[in-house]
Amino acid sequence: MRTYRDDDRGQVAVEFMGMVPLILLTLALLWQVVLVGYTYTLAGNAADEAARACAVGDDGPAAAQRHIDGAWSVSGGKCQQSGGMVRVQVDVEVPALVPGFGGLFPVTADAGAVLEVPGP
């Protein structure tokens, strides 16, 4: 005699295979959110370091690049002096899922520091 539960053989496997793409998509989206947040952190730190370097007369763009991992692309870091302050703006590209592959959009960070050396 056949029981009712025998008719459902393999149903769990079918449902699991249907959910796998959704689970993977959710994980990929969460990972991308982590990368966006980490890029904001990197950009802010690079701008702070570039501003500190400019304040003491060092190379701001080089300081910004030193504090960014090679997988992230950075631009900017040029020192702008006015009123005894140094301001720096740094742009860092948010990678698409894997650092080093393309850029989704730029993240801009601004930083300032008190000028510690006389200007030109």
Per-residue pLDDT reduced to its tens digit, 77-95: 788 888 889 999 999 988 8
pLDDT of 107 > 70? The answer is yes
Q: Residues with Cβ < 8 Å from 97, sequence gap 6 or more?
A: 28, 31, 32, 35
User: Range with the lowest mean pLDDT among 21-35, 67-81, 93-107?
Assistant: 67-81
The residue ranges of every structural domain in the chain are 4-114
Residue 27: its pLDDT value, please?
96
pLDDT of 71 > 90? The answer is no
pLDDT of 46 > 70? The answer is yes
The mean of the pLDDT values for the chain is: 85
pTM of the prediction? 0.78
Q: Residues with Cβ < 8 Å from 71, sequence gap 6 or more?
A: 95, 99, 100
Give percent above pLDDT 90 in the chain.
38
